[in-house]
Amino acid sequence: MAGKRAQRDTGTRSPVGAVKVTISEIAREAGVSVPTVSRVVNGRSDVSPATRARIEDLLHRHGYRRRPVAPGARAALLDLVFNDLDSPWAVEIIRGVEEVAHEQGVGTVVSAIHGRAGAARQWMTNLRARASDGVILVTSALEPGLHDELRRLGVPLVVIDPAGSPATDAPTVGATNWAGGMAATEHLLGLGHRRIGFIEGPPRLLCSRARLDGYRAALDAAGAPVDGELIVPGDFYHESGFTGANRLLDLDVPPTAIFAASDQMALGAIEALRRRGLRVPEDVSVVGFDDLPEVCWSSPPLTTVRQPLADMGKLAARAVLDLARSVEPASPRVELATELVIRASTAQPRRA
């Protein structure tokens, strides 16, 4: 397999209008052998750091890119990278990616970098060693240097739910988070709620900020005030939903409904209400976001905004495999539709 990969990648493709550069010319200019350049091109780890840096600099300066996979051929390996893996929504994305990978005979390596620079650099070292054909990055941010290294290696990148502004040349896949946040809030407003608490997700994530903006937009459109004390921090996990709900319930005038920016936080909020002897939805309505498989079995079943997590994984996998075959995506930014799913955790308020 390694021999076939080396043979596949020994050609070059220069930018449009540029003179093609061969690996032999790169090797001659770098003062190394052709096999050494080939090892760097294919991401092998058995090259000294100084030599690797010199070769990669020449490859970059000459606009070298690994030869694309021929039309109809299959990429061999994908890297799927999360910040953390301790969430059910990660499983849904993995399920979508794996379905496409299985259909196309592609292997998948799943990693978590935990937001640490050292872990991200170690992942990049491992990626070079296994010569991955593409990377799907989920709600994570890589250092600019690591993005540059992916470009030098010619490894395509697709981002799901980018954290902050994504790399300008990386296609992204997401959901209509703003519309979902607005739909959830409009549902509660339509039931008669006017004091609606909101438990945020991590503000560094674009999807979190979009859900909050949708909440605010719905209140504004209904002529309801946006009360800052009704917006409390969270991190998408159960504990912050529990803490955020308690903070809202301790207000002089507590909310009659709580919109949590993730299902896990919504379940944490329901537990906080239960421990205070409050019933859902009789005393406080609760809405989540994600529509994880477990929430239809919660007590009561959770009203939530469905985002198509598995479909997002499928779309990202197809996009990165297309890029590995030098097929550009139809759109650099794709947002899949969210949908409000009404269950038993919301009802008209008992008090205005």
Q: What is the pLDDT of residues 325-336, one digit of tens each?
A: 878 888 889 999
Least confident residue range of 16-25, 45-54, 126-135: 16-25
pTM, two decimal places: 0.77
Q: Quick one: CA torsion of 218, 238, 346, 206, rounded to 10 degrees?
A: 20
Residue 287's DSSP bridge partners are 259, 303
pLDDT of residue 13: 38
- Cβ(233)–Cβ(246) below 8 Å: no
| Most confident among 11-20, 137-146, 169-178, 221-230 (mean pLDDT) | 221-230
Least confident residue range of 27-31, 101-105, 258-262, 308-312: 27-31
The fraction of the chain above a pLDDT of 70, given in percent, is 85
pLDDT of residue 11: 38
Query: What gap in Å lies between CA 162 and CA 326, rounded to an integer?
Result: 23
Q: What is the CA radius of gyration of the chain?
A: 24
pLDDT of residue 65: 62
pLDDT digits (tens, 9 = 90+) for 20-48: 577 767 878 888 766 577 667 766 565 78
Coil vs helix vs strand at 14: coil
- Cβ(139)–Cβ(202) below 8 Å: no
